[in-house]
Amino acid sequence: EAGVAQSPRYKIIEKRQSVAFWCNPISGHATLYWYQQILGQGPKLLIQFQNNGVVDDSQLPKDRFSAERLKGVDSTLKIQPAKLEDSAVYLCASSPRQGRKGTGYTFGSGTRLTVV
Amino acid sequence: GDSVTQMEGPVTLSEEAFLTINCTYTATGYPSLFWYVQYPGEGLQLLLKATKADDKGSNKGFEATYRKETTSFHLEKGSVQVSDSAVYFCALSGGYQKVTFGIGTKLQVIP
């Protein structure tokens, strides 16, 4: 089966600019996650979708970050305006469905964002 | 809330040495436990998992046992190879399948 697709792989922007990342999960996976991985740290959950609804966005900086999952398939994460501390790898992951113990995730390769 | 503590790296070993990466967790209830691996320039891959106490997860020669009494899930491999060089993340999953990760331990294996 095809894996989780993310684009772009790399992005360099100036601070205060906007940027968008795209993710296409594994076909049929109901749950989609966006994680932020700052260099030297573990991934931090930004937002979790179940189909096209938000389950958890408690750690999403909503003043500058937004995400949507129209039609419950692919998803877009946007940052506007970007700050230097947003430099990180943004990982998308999907899993078959919520509530199934021990499922684990399948991750995409990530988008490496550098804000200068 | 849920948290994972794992040993800081980097860990440098010679090829064929024995590997242990320590991981302890704090969680309510009975979480599932995972080890993920991240090779240079790639995304995270699930290495192994355990869903209940005393379960042993294994894959590619790596093993980890879910120890509820010590809240630990240490990763072990009897003989590491250069190709095992990567960053290893311990993680747990509680309610709603949200996965909480540790900071990662970088392993470097030298020939």
How far apart CA B67 and CA B61 sit, in angstroms, is 19
Per-residue pLDDT tens for B74-106?
Answer: 999 999 999 999 999 999 987 666 788 999 999
Query: Given an 8 Å threshold on Cβ–Cβ distance, is A42 in contact with B103?
Result: yes
**In Å, how far is A62's CA from the nearest CA of chain B?**
19
Taking only Cα atoms into account, the Rg of chain A, rounded to an integer number of angstroms, comes to 13
Q: Which residues of A touch B50 (CB under 8 A)?
A: 102
Per-residue pLDDT tens for A52-98?
Answer: 899 999 999 999 999 999 888 999 999 999 999 999 999 999 988 65
pLDDT at B95: 64
pLDDT at A72: 84
Phi, psi of A42 (to 5 degrees): -80, 160
Mean residue pLDDT of chain B comes to 92
pLDDT-above-70 percentage for chain A: 92
Per-residue pLDDT tens for B8-60?
Answer: 889 999 999 999 999 999 998 889 999 999 998 788 899 999 999 999 999 99
- From residue A55, alpha-carbon distances to A32, A46, A58, A75, B24 in Å are 10, 11, 9, 14, 27
